Structure 1
């Protein structure tokens, strides 16, 4: 799930040691709480990146394995790196049945570069964590000639605007970082910014973007689990937030429908 431009810029400035622990409090629920990447986008990225069954993939920031499992099912040899130890352990567990997948607890910055070893560099909602002066240059170096960069994005899942209006004051009181509403137009603009970032790097060409509009339905309790992966809150603030939201959301039923844009960017290495 992708966040706003402000959050993207803020997170890019977080130092490496903080990033290694950023999601640890919610690591165990992240895998199930975050929306899955659409199967059609996974399949299209494999086609666009021209990945044969023995193509090797380097995944940057695999998290607990949300995208890793989807690609591992194709049988690709995968080297996955993840700086958060809790995520790393979960990814190893989720990928235990895929012998071609190796997961290492390290950051992309610290990872010992293996030049021209991979057919594709994959990152799912994680590439923006890497400093801009490192991410594209190091990814390009890791790729074989004519290799591909694959960036998957799930943008922010949001309720209908009338529902957001009803709960905005609760966000304002207990989780100000959640006080924002993007909608399809803003999310499309975020994706265009990512596209331009790839092209401006100078390391990749022939960029292809595909996207789908997605809808997911959560129970109220599962929606709260999702929110816990989106904002760092102290226990008391979290309790007050969820109590306030439950009171507001009971007017809309027992579940909540969220919509978001999911996309993939695939670009070929220059040179």
Structure 2
């Protein structure tokens, strides 16, 4: 099983192991942390998707799982009309705050599965590091119906920031002692392959054509506390027992400060898939 299949299977397990109500509130306790520490999407990447998808001032976008509005604000700044779905009430509140200056943006507190379909309405469906939470069997047919005949799909992805291999080797000792299953380092090629393969479901759905994938590497510095706050927003850490998570974070904090001082440098890949709805005939 490759890395992408492992990731997709892990989210399939989340969908199977947790009720819809639990999944709605998966990020609720870390909504503020998510808003503060999750990396943004580079403007260059946003501009490239707008160019490829040929979005215009009249474009109407449906966003699935907008979170606190991380990607929403970037598209809203360009003047697009947006309807954004977010299941977590806490994240929904943050998105409304972050998008308060954009009257053409509507934030709705619901899941994509429960959202009442508005068929043949949207020029573009956008999902930013969120569509893996939706079952492909449910998601692709529904979003295909929501799109106009010449509509397109934009999937944005931010791979989680990770420190260098040298830092990983030091932190691995902590993980092996506390939670071995969370010890993972991915080189550039592996991260790119994972993101590229996440678009395979778009093709497998049989509903979209002309899939395009591009990615770019980005850097971000974190304070030690902010880095641990970032980790707290990642699903494998959310799923931990609270005592286990606290013990891990305390050990990581001590090790990081002992070896690296107050900050840690990370890198991440930001990527997109763009595809077009297939003609009916």
| Superposition deviation, residue 181 in structure 1 | 1.5
Match of 1:254 in 2: 262
| Superposition deviation, residue 112 in structure 1 | 0.6
Do structure 1's residue 263 and structure 2's residue 271 form an aligned pair? yes
SS in structure 2 at match of 1:257: strand
Match of 1:238 in 2: 245
Whole-angstrom distance in 2 between the partners of 1:16 and 1:182: 31
- State the TM-score, normalized to the length of structure 1: 0.94
| Corresponding residue to 1:98 among 93, 96, 102 | 102
Match of 1:141 in 2: 145
Alignment RMSD (CA, Å): 1.6
| Superposition deviation, residue 58 in structure 1 | 0.0
Q: In 1, are the aligned partners of 2:40 and 2:70 still within 8 Å (CA)?
A: yes
Q: In 1, are the aligned partners of 2:136 and 2:201 still within 8 Å (CA)?
A: no
| Superposition deviation, residue 178 in structure 1 | 2.5
| Corresponding residue to 2:132 among 128, 131, 134 | 128
1:216-235 CA-to-partner distances (Å, cap 9, x unmatched) read 11111110110111112444
- State the TM-score, normalized to the length of structure 2: 0.91
| Superposition deviation, residue 253 in structure 1 | 3.2
Match of 2:90 in 1: 86
SS in structure 2 at match of 1:133: helix
Extract unaligned runs of 5+ from structure 1: none
Mean alpha-carbon deviation: is it higher for 41-50 or for 230-239?
230-239
Q: In 2, are the aligned partners of 1:27 and 1:64 still within 8 Å (CA)?
A: yes
| Superposition deviation, residue 24 in structure 1 | 1.3
* Displaced runs of 4 or more, over 4 A: none
Q: Note closer, same or farther for the CA distance 1:204–1:56 as it changes in structure 2 (3 Å cut).
A: same
Instruction: Number of aligned residue pairs: give it.
Output: 269
Q: Note closer, same or farther for the CA distance 1:200–1:7 as it changes in structure 2 (3 Å cut).
A: closer
Q: Note closer, same or farther for the CA distance 1:85–1:12 as it changes in structure 2 (3 Å cut).
A: farther
Match of 2:120 in 1: 116
Equivalent residue runs for 1:198-217 within 5 Å: 198-217=202-221
Match of 2:26 in 1: 22
Whole-angstrom distance in 1 between the partners of 2:261 and 2:5: 32
Extract unaligned runs of 5+ from structure 2: none
Q: In 1, are the aligned partners of 2:62 and 2:125 still within 8 Å (CA)?
A: yes
Mean alpha-carbon deviation: is it higher for 4-13 or for 17-26?
4-13
